[in-house]
Structure 1
Amino acid sequence: MAQLGAPTVLVHVSFLAAMAEFRAEGRGTPGDPFEIGREIREFGDSWETPEGFAVYVRWLLDQAREDAPRPAGYVPSTNLWLTDGDEYLGRLAIRHRLTDRLREGGGHIGYDVRPSARRRGHATRMLHDALPFARALGITSALLTCDVDNVISRRVIERNGGVLQDRHGDKWRFWLPTG
């Protein structure tokens, strides 16, 4: 049964396969502005070895610390992976606070499901299971955003109780109670 938990080296082989799926759909290119794209560009070459993958997993875990090194403008975030045994299904990040940029288009929570695992309810489950983690971080209502043409992500947010605030440019912005 799939579970949301801390990133782990135990899914190394499946994670590599998932990243190959993301790359095949164009993720990780210089124009990809999303977290997964940035991480593919920054860490992708090191993931092949167990040692390099372990360094990446440790980096993800450390991102929850206030004093961890991170790119300018980034905030601490708790990273969680959806796994089923040794199979990597997806990822979710809970940003501990909002910046102006995140208020406009990123929100508190972002998620990705690997292409071969989509349309099985994993995103809805990940978001649902992440809400207690967000609540424990002091986030009582989480901002989530999605592209206006991303009907599936909008449904995921609404199924979890998200209330539409507005449209800001090419993004819908929702507030989702965490408790």
Structure 2
Amino acid sequence: MANARIRLIQPTVELHDAFLECAFEFGSGHRDGFATDSLTDEDLKDRATFAAWIATRLSYADETTLLPPDRVHDTLSWIVDEREPQRILGSISLRHRLNDFLLQVGGHIGYGVRPSARRKGVATAALTLALDQAKALGLRQALITCQDDNTASARTIERNGGALEDIRETPDHGTVRRYWVQLN
């Protein structure tokens, strides 16, 4: 992946098989930034359910879409190398606003890179692009969080200008590092 040219693309049903390959590479672990928590692996495999999920996720980026009270508008993108755009390397979610949960735990941006693409600069490049999206939305700063023991993610955030605000214990999500990135 040397000299990768990372891009963020809009999710599409045409990349269903590539998405499954990427998502299932995580095994039974959580897929940060994928926004698949409401779906089972069987749901993801079903083409009709997957297509409906994509349509719903794309609607979340539209500020006029009415959302459930516990949700915020967000832009979900898939991470690809432009030289191999049919292979999804990961996923990244940019939340347009923070609710209380996101302020405490989740932040403005969540991301995950498939295990075979890690340690190659993919997360750093993707986060840079997501921060550009955040700036384009008018955000002046972005909160990005990671688990305290996730040193790779902490380095990625710090490479993108993240200033550590604090490290907190949370009731359901362990110890979380909270960083702010200034966008202006």
By the TM > 0.5 criterion, same fold?
yes
Q: What does 1:133-148 align with in structure 2 at a 5 Å threshold?
A: 133-148=133-148
Counterpart residue number, 1:31: none
Match of 1:78 in 2: 75
| Normalised TM-score (structure 2) | 0.83
TM-score, normalised via structure 1 length: 0.85
Equivalence for 1:56? 53
Deviation at 1:61, TM superposition (A): 0.8
* Paired residue total: 172
Instruction: Map 1:79-118; keep pairs closer than 5 Å.
Output: 79-84=76-81, 85-118=85-118
CA contact (8 A) 1:7 1:80 kept: yes
Write the distance in 2 (CA, Å) between the matches of 1:165 and 1:116.
Answer: 31
Q: Which runs of 5+ in 2 are unaligned?
A: 170-174
1:2 to 6, 26, 43: 6
Residue 29 of structure 2, aligned match among 20, 26, 45: 26
Quote the RMSD (CA, aligned, Å): 2.1
Q: Distance in 2 between the 1:42 and 1:35 partners?
A: 14
How has the CA–CA distance of structure 1 residues 26 and 166 changed in structure 2, closer, same or farther, with 3 Å as cutoff? closer
- The alpha carbon displacement at 1:56 in A equals 1.9
Which residue of structure 2 aligns with residue 44 of structure 1? Answer: 41
Kindly indicate which of the two structures has a greater share of residues assigned to helix. Answer: 1
C-alpha distance in 1, partners of 2:79/2:17?
15
State whether structure 2 residue 180 is matched by structure 1 residue 175.
yes
Give aligned-pair identity as a percent: 40
Offset, 1:40? 5.0
Runs of 5+ consecutive residues of structure 1 not aligned to the other structure: 29-33
CA distance in structure 1 between the aligned counterparts of 2:67 and 2:137, rounded to whole angstroms: 19
Contact 2:79 2:91 in 1 (8 A): yes
